[in-house]
Structure 1
Amino acid sequence: MVYASKKTQNNTQKILLFHGRNISTQFESYYINASAGELMDPFIHQHRYKLLINQHLKCKGKNVFLLVFVHMAPGNFAGRNLIRSTFGTVFSFHSKRIEYVFVLGKTENVTLQQEIEHESERYMDIIQGNFIDSYRNLTYKLVFSLFWVNNFCNNAKFVIKMDDDIIVNIPLVVPYLAEKVKAGQASNVLECKTITENIPVRERNNKWFITPEEYPFTKFLPYCAGHSSIMSIDVVRKMYRASKNVPHLWLEDVYGSGFLSLLLKLNMLMPKFYFDPVISSLYGKPCSLFYLNILKNDTNSLVMWNTITRYKKRLNCSI
């Protein structure tokens, strides 16, 4: 996204361009003029998060190049173990430190909570907030992640936010980000699969139903697909602060990379090699930063990671 000025007869009007397309500034005015009553959510606006499980030493005293935080359901033990056995085994690449955390909300199942606490004691890679973990609370989880990074890992250079259906191509991601540092381009980074023409769903029986009261516009602004994004640490800090002033929307991808990045005037980019589906990439040269395992097939994830590790010492992709 870029901002430009358009001269009219009486004044200069600021417009927002995305790939040359004019986006209505009504949205910006609507949210900038939000009333105090719309900014009272205890989690989104007041940041009253409590850590049920924390890893306060995860980044302390370490030169963390990349932090990967994974949004995951509390009961998805298999998904966490799959990541721990694939790209989550790589804590250093080209002398760059990588850390991982799994981000969970609260469960009211006592037995499940005890199992999570035992898992956390063993692996020391889980953080858990005091909000109910549910699909409609994903924005709480996003802002909680920003809260945690801001308070406990703000020494990282870059942050990857991802869901549990993503495989990170660490041997490509780390050199790619290192080149940004070398070129002096390690700030204001927000890269993802951009969604540019989506519209709100108004059918009540649909999973993504959203009322006109929740979102009064006929189109969504450009935003990042929720499965993954790359941010420089300054973007994480800015988004965390900005969340206090933006009305809540439960669609976390629209809220985070759409609402917040617009009001922060961030340029959202999608590299041409950003991601590919796992199913069509299992045995070829792995030249994408991320692989989306939309079927959540564990075997495919293992095969994909084996392909990545097989190529890692001779991976020569044009990035």
Structure 2
Amino acid sequence: MFPRLSYAQRLLALIFFVSFITVFFNFSSVKFSAASRRLSYMEQYLQNTLRGGNTVQDAQEYVDNITEMNGQQKGWDQSTRTPPINPHEFKYLINPSSLCYRKNLTYLVYVHTAPGNFKKRQTIRQTWGAKTLMLKYKIRIVFIMGVVEDSVTVQRVHSESNRYGDIVMEDFQDSYRNLTYKAIAGLKWISSYCLDVTYVIKSDDDILIDMHALMETMNSKEVKKYGTRRLIMCNQWLKMKVIRDKKSKWYVPKEEFDKEYFPPYCSGSLFIMSLDVVFAMYDMSLNTKFFWVDDFYITGLLAEKLKLEHKRLNDNYMLNARAAVEKFDKDEKRELKFFHVHKLTDIFRMWKRLRSEKNRSCDNCFTWLPHR
């Protein structure tokens, strides 16, 4: 038997219990209210976008408001908290903010591209990113880029955006040493405008994806058992030596990174994340010092801070562009899914063969049409 509590003890216990319940519900109410305001603001903004009533400035104001709401929801003191180490304060020059809105999507593919890579983007739209294929698998593609000084190129990109509505351009200088800005731009845009997808796929614009095989993998028991939280799948690099040769494109001085080997990270050619990882990585990037090696920064440094474990898909990659076509032709079992390919003519030829094989093996395949 428990000892009998005195009246005073029972009164104190009751006060403590009531106080706890009050604080809990007040906290929940505040949190729910912040989330509701966030979703309400997004709903209003996107509806106005569909009516053609928003400008680029409106888009930036929306992101700023969402960022501020996120900070309040996390309990940050906006007046006293330490400024971010790596603030991503670039402005949108092109922003397809309604691209994911009410599309019932499962996947969002964001592709790193340079403004002048018009043919590469069009090749994707006509092969593994064809509109009919995207609809079939509930996918949308968005191309992420910075800006260049060539005004003719920028104007052509604006025209391309007006036609396809799938380009995000921020005002950072698009260069090799700024690829990490491009990577963070993708994370930020998805965190702001594509909140309902399950998986996010990052790709470069010189990668051929066997989309049919990838979808089969994503629906396999092996991937299903991973769940849809804290997931990152990729070609994992182990014991990658830091290059100290000053003549190399990838030269890293000791002042920037003093270790001789990088910790495990993913090839930046293509990797797959659950949506919560995108949110967490963007948040973590704000307080992680900038480092120009983008694939290591995103999938190594940020992933390590978030204690994420890479799921290896190494056997699915052929990243040697010189050998990709030959390996593709010899891969009768179609175990390879991701190919680094230099020539656009090779991508079209390889895709035509994949399409033909898929049609022969499927009685219910849809009609294939180029993206218009």
* 2:300 alignment partner AA: G
| C-alpha separation in 2, matches of 1:230 and 1:70 | 12
State the partner residue of 1:159. Answer: 200
Select the residue among 248, 251, 271 that pairs with 2:293.
251
Select the residue among 176, 179, 196 that pairs with 2:220.
179
* Higher-strand-fraction structure: 1
Q: 3-state DSSP class of the match of 2:89? A: coil
CA contact (8 A) 1:39 1:247 kept: no
Q: Which has the larger radius of gyration?
A: 2
Offset, 1:189: 1.6
State the partner residue of 2:240. Answer: 198
The change in CA–CA distance for 1:62 and 1:252 in structure 2 (over 3 A counts) is same
Relative CO higher for 1 or 2, CA cutoff 8 Å, sep ≥ 6? 1
Offset, 1:38: 11
* 1:252 alignment partner AA: D
1:228 aligns with 2:275: no
Runs of 5+ unmatched residues, structure 2: 1-80, 319-323, 363-372
State the partner residue of 1:104. Answer: 145
5 Å matches for 1:4-23?
A: none
| C-alpha separation in 2, matches of 1:225 and 1:38 | 31
Select the residue among 326, 331, 344 that pairs with 1:279.
326
Q: 3-state DSSP class of the match of 2:329? A: coil
1:260 aligns with 2:302: yes
Offset, 1:147: 0.3
CA contact (8 A) 1:286 1:308 kept: no
The change in CA–CA distance for 1:183 and 1:206 in structure 2 (over 3 A counts) is closer
Aligned structure 1 segments of 4 or more residues deviating by more than 4 angstroms: 36-39, 90-95, 180-184
CA contact (8 A) 1:221 1:258 kept: yes
State the partner residue of 2:39. Answer: none
| Percentage of pairs with the same residue | 34
Which deviates more from structure 2 when the two are superposed, residues 243-252 or residues 195-204? 195-204
Q: Deviations over 1:58-87 (max 9, x none)?
A: 100111111111101110111111111101
CA contact (8 A) 2:107 2:198 kept: yes
| C-alpha separation in 2, matches of 1:265 and 1:307 | 40
| C-alpha separation in 1, matches of 2:279 and 2:325 | 32
* 1:309 alignment partner AA: R
1:50 aligns with 2:91: yes
CA contact (8 A) 2:134 2:140 kept: no
Q: 3-state DSSP class of the match of 2:218? A: helix
State the partner residue of 2:163. Answer: 122
Offset, 1:272: 5.0
| C-alpha separation in 1, matches of 2:90 and 2:196 | 21
* 1:279 alignment partner AA: E
| C-alpha separation in 2, matches of 1:163 and 1:134 | 14
State the partner residue of 2:339. Answer: 291
5 Å matches for 1:125-140?
A: 125-140=166-181
* 1:195 alignment partner AA: W
| C-alpha separation in 1, matches of 2:135 and 2:169 | 31
The change in CA–CA distance for 1:94 and 1:274 in structure 2 (over 3 A counts) is farther
CA contact (8 A) 1:159 1:232 kept: yes
Offset, 1:159: 1.0
| C-alpha separation in 1, matches of 2:231 and 2:133 | 22
The change in CA–CA distance for 1:38 and 1:210 in structure 2 (over 3 A counts) is farther
| C-alpha separation in 1, matches of 2:131 and 2:169 | 23
Q: 3-state DSSP class of the match of 2:162? A: helix
1:209 aligns with 2:256: no
Give the TM-score of the pair, scaled to structure 1.
0.80
| C-alpha separation in 2, matches of 1:172 and 1:114 | 37
CA contact (8 A) 2:115 2:157 kept: yes
Q: Deviations over 1:17-62 (max 9, x none)?
A: xxxxxxxxxxxxxxxxxxx99954xxxx222131110111110011
CA contact (8 A) 2:147 2:170 kept: yes
| C-alpha separation in 2, matches of 1:279 and 1:163 | 21
Runs of 5+ unmatched residues, structure 1: 1-35
